[in-house]
């Protein structure tokens, strides 16, 4: 098979994938138009009581790097329910009020589960630099969840910095991310 035919086949597959995916801008197929590289400025951040201390430290960290931070709560270490704050962070991203979101609970898993229930959200729990990079490059994650009891501010800052500055690579990952979004649209 020659290179021209391979290129034609790839274009046909990409067109078919694009026809499957419809909806608001946070749900359209990932293309070099919809994935705006280097435009992340507005960050929604939230936490439950287990993530509150790390959230407060990350707010200062993000502001020092000139991000616009929109604090979704909680505002103390008093016991609260993580789904309430994970939903607030996720909705801020899904509505495009914020470019990306960060949610911190004790371990990070539960908030990822809650945030992923919001249409258009691809939340990833990251615990090191490899998972942070992969969640952006391969999955175009738009919400990062962290475990406040699993890491200190140094590691959390490294993860957040890498996650916010890593672009989605697209390519072979476009159809895969689009399939994730298609599952969401079929969910009843």
Residue in 11, 12, 17, 13 with CA at minimum distance from that of residue 30: 17
Model confidence at 84: pLDDT above 50: yes
**Active centre residues (catalytic):** 138
- Residue 64 burial (CB count, 10 A): 9
Residue with tokens 């290179």: 3
DSSP 23: S
What CATH number has the domain spanning 39-186? 3.40.1400.10
pLDDT digits (tens, 9 = 90+) for 32-63: 334 455 689 999 999 999 999 999 999 999 99
Are the C-beta atoms of residues 45 and 71 closer than 8 Å to each other?
yes
Average pLDDT over the chain reads 87
* pTM for the whole structure: 0.81
Q: Please state the domain extents for the chain.
A: 39-186
pLDDT digits (tens, 9 = 90+) for 106-120: 999 999 999 999 999
DSSP 31: -
């Amino acid at each position: 098979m020659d290179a021209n035919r391979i290129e034609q086949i790839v274009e046909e597959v990409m067109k078919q994938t694009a026809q499957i995916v419809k909806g608001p801008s946070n749900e359209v197929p990932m293309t070099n138009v919809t994935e705006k590289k280097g435009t992340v400025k507005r960050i929604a951040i939230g936490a439950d009581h287990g993530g509150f201390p790390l959230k407060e430290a990350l707010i200062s960290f993000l502001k020092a790097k000139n991000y616009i931070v929109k604090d979704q709560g909680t505002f103390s270490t008093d016991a609260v329910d993580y789904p309430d704050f994970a939903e607030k962070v996720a909705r801020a991203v899904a509505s495009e009020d914020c470019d990306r979101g960060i949610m911190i609970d004790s371990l990070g898993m539960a908030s990822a589960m809650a945030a992923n229930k919001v249409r258009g959200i691809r939340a990833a729990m990251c615990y090191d630099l490899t998972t942070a990079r992969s969640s952006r490059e391969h999955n175009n994650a738009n919400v990062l969840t962290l475990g406040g009891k699993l890491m200190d501010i140094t590691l959390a800052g490294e993860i957040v910095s890498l996650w916010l500055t890593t672009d989605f690579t697209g390519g072979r990952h476009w159809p895969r991310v689009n399939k994730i979004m298609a599952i969401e649209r079929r969910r009843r």
